[in-house]
A and B are shown apart, each in its own frame.
Chain A
Amino acid sequence: MPIDMKQFHAVFFEESQEHLEEMEQLLLDLDIVNPDAEMLNSIFRAAHSIKGGSGIFGFDALASVTHVMESLLDKIRQGKMMITAEMVDLFLSSVDQLKEILRCYRTNETLDWTQVQGLTKRLELVTAGTVPFTIPATSVVVDEDAFGFFNDEESAKEEEHGFFDEPVPEESFGFFDEIPDPVSAPIAIAKSASTEAYGFFENFTPAETLATSSPAITPFAVSVSNIKDKVAATAKIKNSEPIHVESSSIRVDVVKVDQLINLVGEIVITQSMLSLLGKSLEGTLGEKFQAVANELERNTREIQEAVMSIRMLPVSFVFNRFPRVVRDLATKLGKQIDLIIEGGETELDKGLTEKLVDPLTHLVRNSIDHGIESAAVRIEHGKNPMGTVVLRAAQQGGNIVISISDDGGGLNRERILEKARENNIPIGENPKDEDIWQLIFAPGFSTAAAVTDVSGRGVGMDVVKRNVQSLGGRIDIESRAGQGATFTIHLPLTLAIVDGMCVSVGEQTFIVPLVNIVESMQPASKDIKTLAGDDQLLHVRNEYWPILPLYKVMQVEPKFTDVSKGIAVLVETNKYRFALFVDGLVGQQQVVIKSLEQHYKRVQGVAGATIMGDGSVALIVDVESLALTVNNIMQLATAV
């Protein structure tokens, strides 16, 4: 019976993609002066795995490119050839091309064989060592490269515009066109009028030419056939060797995981209904039932936690793409930038990690483009010519905090104010720094125009802010003139579950997220002060908290309207604090957040809904947006 090889293709594509990403990562980490043997081996293994797989499935283009790469890598690995920065560049562009080839195979698009052959030839030339890295040789290389990329743009318009994996292509071009590259400026200006892709590429070429014109490395003259034999030999050895890193993960469709999460949510609900029913049982049977129900509760909770953790991914999944982005952009802009990544192991919901890519990319690019000054300016200011960008992730309580810091010039207060006036954005007298920084998130407010002399196109920071907000997060800016800026993104740990306190108001139950709760108390009537109108304040340990009756906001009929009869839940957000007046506390519970917007719409003061043990719907209170409704009371409070 013939085996349909197609069924294995998807797995091969996934794996190859991973190998390519691994290769890219390793190449970027590689210390050229003193390359780590194990890293070289890993790169070799990655190339080899792709070659093996593509051979089996008949993906010839992949096989031929990886084959030559492997040859060259083998030479380097065996110390017969010294690795150079040019080689790393060549490998990186090969990785890019391999990704493209992989994509073509995946989508059944026609391959551009001339590109593949061009790349293979270049790799072969370098491998053979017969062509040393001299200027004429490089110019050949560069020509083909440029041609390849140019073709790329022409044939696959829908693809991102090349190198940077840009989420917002038109803007990225804004970047490059506007920034005069100190190295390639003359040519870039001459050519950028033709096509964007072409201009972009020309930008890059001279840089490479200059770089490679440095004294060449003495090549080893080893004939090609020899190497092939060697590679074949090593390949055999490799096959018989045990694999060093045993893969202990399995690939599962996200839809299946989500389905599982939903089902577990339903189980949790059924379980609570069951224990609710059990409470009405009496006698020994009731006791026994209760014991079993408790057991079940513990188990379901554990299942729920385990299932939720499936969705968690280390944030390094997002961070790992940045070394490449930074490297390429730094080369392009002629800046020296050191990227430091911290806390990559912090875990985050998969849904969040995916949606973080765009805003983070934007912020990182922003820091490099507008934040970090050019080396000359930095030296002038007595700074290290090498700029530093720090990407940091950490868990703080129920939040994930991701920050992007640079040691550049910081935001320019005056320019932002000027721009705000131009755009007729109302500003108060003597605004605080934080307020000014928030202005750059206004739609159409170009950071470029505001912060550097380069004119921007006005797309950008507002989108970043919107993206972050849609994830239930917020973004803060800290900046010091001449010392740099830090953008901090606060995100919820996961989108799906919240630890909450169930409170009752009249017939309804509401959930107050536990993260916001400071404490709950039954207030004594002597501690309740009434202000002009109906506003009331609660006196707790020498502090006055404005009281917000939940029944008023949610428009339900309460059991008590007298604050001293009910319960005051003291809540705080990062900006506001107040006392939420409710009828009573029901209990603490982990609830699954259900979207209210899916079938209805967003409701002020409500973060979502959840299904309670008895199958009824309870609304989850959004303390942050409630705070806005009490804002006027707050001002009264601060006046006290």
Chain B
Amino acid sequence: MTADAQEFLTFTLGNEHYALDILTVKEIRGYDSVTKIANAPPFIKGVINLRGDIVPIVDLRIKFNIGNVTYDEFTIVIVLHIRNRIVGIVVDGVSDVVSLTRDQLCPPPDFGVAFNSRYLLGLATVNEQMIILVDINELISSEEMGLFESAIESGG
């Protein structure tokens, strides 16, 4: 492992393997019942109580239209800590933690994956499997997600 190696948590959405910076991960938990929020886009499932904090839950499978949108005891929520906020994302599964260096990364393709390349850090191959590195900070705080919009407003 070289000095600039970074650790990533890999997860699956449908048949694709993705990875996000492990330092943003607060915890991984099972999917629990959520409280629906009116006038929210369908991919925002609602809010849950995370030890006293009211945390929104985003289903990335709905957002990017991949994978099977079912909720059972195996449904996984990755709770992330992003820009001082807590957000939970629903994914199909969590697989592994990988350590990657910069030179293992290839630039992301402009199309062909569900995510806009703006939210991608690059591609990497681990164990002959392609992993898409997601810039999770950028993605979750993007305007498209509509989660942080009020923060920008009130901050200004």
Contact pattern, B 28-41, Cβ under 8 Å of A = 1, otherwise 0: 00000111111110
A555 within 8 A of B: yes
Contact pattern, A 594-609, Cβ under 8 Å of B = 1, otherwise 0: 1111111111111001
Interface residues of A in 449-474 (CB under 8 A from B): none
Q: Which residues of the other chain, A, contact B149 by a CB distance below 8 angstroms?
A: 601
- Give the 4 A-B CB pairs with smallest separation, nearest first: A601-B150, A617-B35, A600-B56, A554-B38
Stretch at the interface among B46-54, B92-100, B107-115: B46-54
Say whether, besides A611-B52, A615-B49, A617-B48, A598 and B85 are in contact (CB < 8 Å). Answer: yes
Q: Which residues of the other chain, B, contact A265 by a CB distance below 8 angstroms?
A: 52
A600-B37 Cα distance, complex, nearest whole Å = 10
A555-B37 Cα distance, complex, nearest whole Å = 8
Decide if B38 touches A617 in the complex (CB within 8 Å): no
**CB < 8 Å neighbour of B52 from A594, A604, A616:** A594
**B residues apposed to A, CB below 8 Å:** 33-40, 46-49, 52-56, 85-87, 146-151, 154
Say whether, besides A616-B33, A617-B47, A594 and B54 are in contact (CB < 8 Å). Answer: yes
**CB < 8 Å neighbour of A619 from B35, B39, B87, B150:** B35
A376 within 8 A of B: no
Say whether, besides A594-B54, A599-B55, A601-B147, A616 and B37 are in contact (CB < 8 Å). Answer: no
Say whether, besides A615-B49, A616-B49, A617-B47, A600 and B54 are in contact (CB < 8 Å). Answer: yes
Q: Which residues of the other chain, A, contact B49 by a CB distance below 8 angstroms?
A: 611, 615-617
A596-B150 Cα distance, complex, nearest whole Å = 11
Q: Which residues of the other chain, B, contact A606 by a CB distance below 8 angstroms?
A: 37-38
A37 within 8 A of B: no
A22 within 8 A of B: no
**CB < 8 Å neighbour of A597 from B86, B146, B150:** B150
Q: Which residues of the other chain, B, contact A177 by a CB distance below 8 angstroms?
A: none
Interface residues of A in 614-639 (CB under 8 A from B): 615-619
Q: Which residues of the other chain, A, contact B56 by a CB distance below 8 angstroms?
A: 599-600
Decide if B38 touches A599 in the complex (CB within 8 Å): no
Contact pattern, A 571-604, Cβ under 8 Å of B = 1, otherwise 0: 0000000000000000000000011111111111
Q: Which residues of the other chain, B, contact A300 by a CB distance below 8 angstroms?
A: none
| 4 further A-B pairs in the complex, CB-CB below 8 A; given A599-B86, A603-B39 | A508-B35, A555-B38, A600-B37, A617-B49
A609-B87 Cα distance, complex, nearest whole Å = 16
Say whether, besides A600-B37, A618-B35, A609 and B47 are in contact (CB < 8 Å). Answer: yes
Q: Which residues of the other chain, A, contact B148 by a CB distance below 8 angstroms?
A: 601
**CB < 8 Å neighbour of A555 from B35, B36, B54, B154:** B36
Decide if A605 touches B33 in the complex (CB within 8 Å): no
Smallest beta-carbon distance B82→chain A, Å: 10
A265-B87 Cα distance, complex, nearest whole Å = 22
A23-B97 Cα distance, complex, nearest whole Å = 64
Taking residues whose C-beta sits less than 8 angstroms from the other chain, chain A's interface range is: 20 to 34
**A residues apposed to B, CB below 8 Å:** 262, 265-266, 508, 553-556, 594-606, 609, 611, 615-619
Q: Which residues of the other chain, B, contact A616 by a CB distance below 8 angstroms?
A: 33, 35, 49
Q: Which residues of the other chain, B, contact A266 by a CB distance below 8 angstroms?
A: 52
Among B39, B146, B147, B149, the most chain A Cβ lie within 10 Å of the Cβ of B39
Decide if B39 touches A609 in the complex (CB within 8 Å): no
Complex: chain A residue closest to B87, CB-CB? A599
Say whether, besides A611-B52, A616-B49, A617-B54, A603 and B35 are in contact (CB < 8 Å). Answer: no
Q: Which residues of the other chain, B, contact A553 by a CB distance below 8 angstroms?
A: 38
Q: Which residues of the other chain, B, contact A603 by a CB distance below 8 angstroms?
A: 37-40
Complex: chain A residue closest to B82, CB-CB? A599
Smallest beta-carbon distance B53→chain A, Å: 6
Q: Which residues of the other chain, B, contact A615 by a CB distance below 8 angstroms?
A: 49
* Between-chain CB contacts (< 8 Å), 22 pairs: A265-B52, A508-B35, A555-B36, A594-B53, A599-B54, A599-B56, A599-B87, A600-B54, A600-B55, A601-B149, A603-B37, A603-B38, A609-B35, A609-B47, A611-B52, A615-B49, A616-B35, A616-B49, A617-B35, A617-B46, A617-B48, A619-B35
Decide if B35 touches A599 in the complex (CB within 8 Å): no
Smallest beta-carbon distance B118→chain A, Å: 22
**CB < 8 Å neighbour of B54 from A262, A598, A602, A604:** A598
Decide if B38 touches A604 in the complex (CB within 8 Å): yes
Smallest beta-carbon distance B93→chain A, Å: 24
A616-B99 Cα distance, complex, nearest whole Å = 37
Q: Which residues of the other chain, A, contact B154 by a CB distance below 8 angstroms?
A: 597
Q: Which residues of the other chain, A, contact B36 by a CB distance below 8 angstroms?
A: 508, 554-556
A554-B87 Cα distance, complex, nearest whole Å = 22
Complex: chain B residue closest to A509, CB-CB? B35
Smallest beta-carbon distance B155→chain A, Å: 12
Decide if A602 touches B150 in the complex (CB within 8 Å): yes
Complex: chain B residue closest to A263, CB-CB? B52
Q: Which residues of the other chain, A, contact B146 by a CB distance below 8 angstroms?
A: 601
